[in-house]
Amino acid sequence: MLQVQHLSYHPAAVSQPILDDLSFELGLNQLGLIVGKSGAGKSTLLEILAGLARPTQGRIAWGGVELSPNRLRSMAGLVFQFPERHFCGLTVLEEMRFGHPELQRTEIENALRQVGLEGIPLHTSPNHLSGGQQRRLALAVQLIRGPFLLLLDEPTAGLDWSVRRQLIELLARLKSTWTVLVVSHDPEELSSIADVRWTLEAGSLKPVAAEALLQR
């Protein structure tokens, strides 16, 4: 279980905290959805949970054990908004092995199968994949690391309706194996697969029912 207690983030350069005293829990094999407008602090929260930024105060724990940013980097997998902009490999194989050259082809093929990319030639350039395939590849890159927590920043942004639907169905399947936290400014499609939901406004996080979320 992910446990976040009294988490705040207040850089010295800004007058108001970006995140202010957030507390929430996300259980094993649950999908949590955080909804907020652009600039609400959603991406900042994911970066803190992924160990890429250090909170001003607060505690992040997994199963009651407090986690440092270094430990979070090994336990959490973050898929950025528009992850295709962050690809480094010239081929799917290189992208999957980036930072992990020891990975065997069978491991890579299994990870690709989990996200519905079985049969994709490993010599294919990531830039030649469709938008939906690129999002799936970004997920596979994180899954092969075996994270306890999968973090996704606006995973359906910029995709057409049919591809968004396929990606949402994939996330619904992935939560049977991983704990998943998704942030989005558009809750309509993702709310149906979420187990718990919150809104993030003015740096504050509040639980919200599915019905209320869809009426926003």
pLDDT grade for 213, boundaries at 50, 70 and 90? low
Q: Which residues lie below 8 Å from residue 184, measured CB to CB, with a gap of 6+? A: 33, 34, 35, 42, 154, 155, 156, 190
Residue 77 in tokens: 């997998």
User: For the residues 67-75, what does the mean pLDDT come to?
Assistant: 92
**Nearest Cα to Cα of residue 41 among 64, 7, 67:** 7
User: For the residues 113-129, what does the mean pLDDT come to?
Assistant: 90
- Write out pLDDT tens, residues 132-165: 889 889 989 988 888 899 999 988 887 888 888 8
- Write out pLDDT tens, residues 30-62: 999 999 888 889 999 999 999 999 999 999 999
Q: How many whole angstroms separate alpha carbon 43 and alpha carbon 70?
A: 19
Burial class (CB in 10 A: 0-12, 13-18, 19+), 153: buried
Q: Alpha-carbon Rg of the chain, whole angstroms?
A: 17
Query: Residue 28, Cβ neighbours under 10 Å: how many?
Result: 12
**Nearest Cα to Cα of residue 120 among 95, 99, 151:** 95
Tell me what pLDDT residue 3 has.
95
Across the chain, mean pLDDT equals 89
Q: Which residue has the higher pLDDT, 6 or 100?
A: 6
User: For the residues 20-24, what does the mean pLDDT come to?
Assistant: 94
Q: Which residues lie below 8 Å from residue 22, measured CB to CB, with a gap of 6+? A: 4, 6, 7, 8, 45, 58, 204, 205
User: For the residues 58-70, what does the mean pLDDT come to?
Assistant: 93
Tell me what pLDDT residue 75 has.
92
2-214 CATH fold? Rossmann fold (3.40.50)
Tell me what pLDDT residue 211 has.
72
User: For the residues 120-128, what does the mean pLDDT come to?
Assistant: 92
Task: Determine contact, residues 33/187, Cβ cutoff 8 Å.
Answer: yes
18 alpha-carbon distance from chain centroid: 19
- Write out pLDDT tens, residues 84-116: 888 888 999 999 998 788 888 889 998 998 888
